[in-house]
């Protein structure tokens, strides 16, 4: 179901192309909304006001001249600040890259530009995408638009908040273990992580290279699909992109699936779910039965093992990827005292440039890769990764998509979760999607009332690798049924 106050991106961009709505008026409308609430929410690290206005004016001039513009002409998009752009800075919300300016655009930015989209700014995140609350940013926490005393989720909390607060039409984020889907759930918007390899990672600052995937945030499944259609595809600059055919899906996501088989894992009906989350899941199951779905009871016994597996693989890859930030080539460089050597430069630069969570994960990753521990931890985690993938393969023999919560809890108070292990468990339902490389999407499944706060509850669908059409069509059915 479409958001009550918004036409779809297909409709809006069509009006811009026809000249009945100007791109400049759309940019100004969003800038007014940002001016009103951004000081309170801090969704953005940087706004590209002049560039967005210039881009909008160029689009309007092209339309007025009668020449063709792209299918996303006039769409106002926010970009997570770990995706590089020539415009402005790319900081990863870290002191390490506080003043870094990229000499090139990421592939996804090139594709958005080619389609006529307008980038309005770069959004806040947990430093180097490591976190589940966007409290780990060197530039301050992003607050939830539904209750500013609560977190927006993470690591793409700024992108989720920007969409939920109506600062833009849609946004891009990155998802390594749930970093698109979990903040989308907590902020009440749609967050879509495609199959690993569907969208180029060229220009995404790497965290866990075998897990990272760029994907869209939007207010509806249809809008997320339109954005996805313009980002997908093989890229010579990213050897991990899949050479798999893609047919545009935006015009097809509204077609209902006939008697879809919806798998519901026993493990997803956990006693660890907040009561409101459990109730939302049961309502969605009832809604699925009402629209003719077959509910299939399945088991995913490695669900709880996913967190420990993820927190071996991801930090190991992060330890390797972040080794380049050494105070020599680029990024933060410490000032040495007389007599201090090169080793001290490395040590001081990294200690000053990286925050506590990033340091924690680098140390963990270095440990599991070290001599004497590699086989015990990293190699074993890779073996479990294969078992998790096989577990999903068996489950999808019985069902078309898998339904469950996105997060076991709604948004929690800022500063209210100080134990890192408790924070990591927020991703219990999302990490295995990345480990297996399959697509997942979070949509709003209702609300929890906590005091005076009405907090969104996210529900997640997962599908087999490259089965995005099935996933998105099923998500559209749930979106309408759960609204």
Catalytic entry in 155, 174, 319, 442? 155
- 259 as an active site residue: the answer is no
| Other Cβ atoms within 10 Å of 36 Cβ, number | 11
Structure tokens at 60: 């309007």
Closest C-alpha among 481, 480, 438, 483 to residue 461: 438
Buried b (16+ CB within 10 A) or exposed e, 380-410: ebeebbeebbebbeebbeebbbbbbbbbbbb
- 80 as an active site residue: the answer is yes
Would you say 444 and 456 are in contact if contact means Cβ atoms under 8 Å apart?
yes
Would you say 30 and 168 are in contact if contact means Cβ atoms under 8 Å apart?
yes
- 179 as an active site residue: the answer is yes
Q: What is the DSSP string of 119-137?
A: EEEEE--SGGG--SSS-S-
CA 129 – CA 328 distance, rounded (Å): 23
Would you say 70 and 114 are in contact if contact means Cβ atoms under 8 Å apart?
yes
CA 72 – CA 55 distance, rounded (Å): 13
* DSSP code of residue 170: E
Would you say 215 and 198 are in contact if contact means Cβ atoms under 8 Å apart?
no
Catalytic entry in 179, 200, 319, 349? 179
CA 294 – CA 44 distance, rounded (Å): 42
Active site residues: 80, 155, 179
């Amino acid at each position: 179901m479409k958001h009550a106050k918004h036409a779809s991106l297909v409709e809006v961009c069509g009006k811009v192309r026809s000249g009945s709505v100007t791109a400049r008026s759309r940019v100004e409308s969003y800038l007014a909304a940002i001016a009103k609430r951004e000081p309170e929410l801090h969704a953005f690290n940087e706004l590209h006001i002049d560039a967005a206005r210039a881009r909008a004016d160029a689009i309007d001039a092209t339309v007025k001249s009668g020449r063709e513009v792209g299918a996303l002409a006039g769409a106002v998009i926010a970009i997570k600040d770990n995706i590089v752009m020539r415009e402005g800075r790319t900081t990863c919300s870290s002191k390490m890259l506080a003043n870094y300016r990229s000499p090139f655009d990421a592939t996804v930015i090139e594709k958005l530009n080619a389609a006529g989209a307008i980038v309005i700014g770069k959004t806040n995140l947990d430093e180097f995408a490591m976190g589940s609350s966007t409290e780990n940013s060197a530039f301050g926490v992003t607050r939830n638009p539904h209750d500013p005393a609560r977190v927006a989720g993470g690591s793409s909390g700024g992108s989720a908040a920007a969409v939920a607060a109506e600062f833009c039409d849609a946004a891009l984020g990155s998802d390594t273990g749930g970093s698109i889907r979990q903040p989308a759930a907590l902020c009440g918007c749609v967050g879509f992580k495609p199959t690993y390899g569907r969208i180029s990672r060229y220009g995404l600052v790497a965290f866990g290279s075998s897990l990272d995937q760029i994907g869209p945030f939007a207010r509806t499944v249809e809008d997320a699909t339109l954005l996805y259609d313009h980002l997908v595809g093989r890229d010579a600059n990213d050897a991990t992109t899949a050479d798999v055919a893609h047919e545009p899906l935006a015009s097809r996501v509204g077609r209902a699936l006939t008697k879809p088989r919806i798998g519901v894992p026993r493990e997803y009906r956990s006693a660890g779910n907040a009561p409101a989350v459990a109730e939302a899941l049961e309502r969605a199951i009832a809604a699925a039965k009402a629209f003719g779905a077959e509910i299939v009871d399945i088991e995913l016994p490695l669900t709880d093992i996913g967190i420990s597996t993820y927190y071996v693989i991801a930090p190991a890859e992060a330890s390797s990827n972040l080794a380049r930030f050494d105070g020599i080539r680029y990024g933060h460089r410490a000032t040495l005292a007389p007599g201090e050597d090169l080793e001290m430069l490395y040590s001081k630069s990294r200690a000053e440039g990286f925050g506590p969570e990033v340091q924690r994960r680098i140390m963990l990753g270095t440990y599991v890769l070290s001599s004497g521990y590699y086989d015990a931890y990293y190699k074993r985690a890779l073996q479990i990764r294969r078992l998790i993938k096989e577990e999903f393969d068996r489950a999808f023999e019985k069902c078309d998509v898998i339904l469950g919560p996105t997060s076991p809890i709604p948004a929690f108070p800022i500063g209210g979760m100080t134990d890192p292990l408790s924070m990591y468990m927020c991703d219990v339902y999302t990490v295995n999607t990345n480990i297996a490389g399959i697509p997942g999407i979070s949509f709003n499944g209702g609300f929890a009332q906590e005091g005076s706060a009405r907090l969104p509850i996210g529900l997640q669908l997962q599908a087999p690798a490259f089965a995005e059409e099935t996933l998105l069509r099923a998500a559209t059915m749930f979106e309408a049924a759960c609204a």
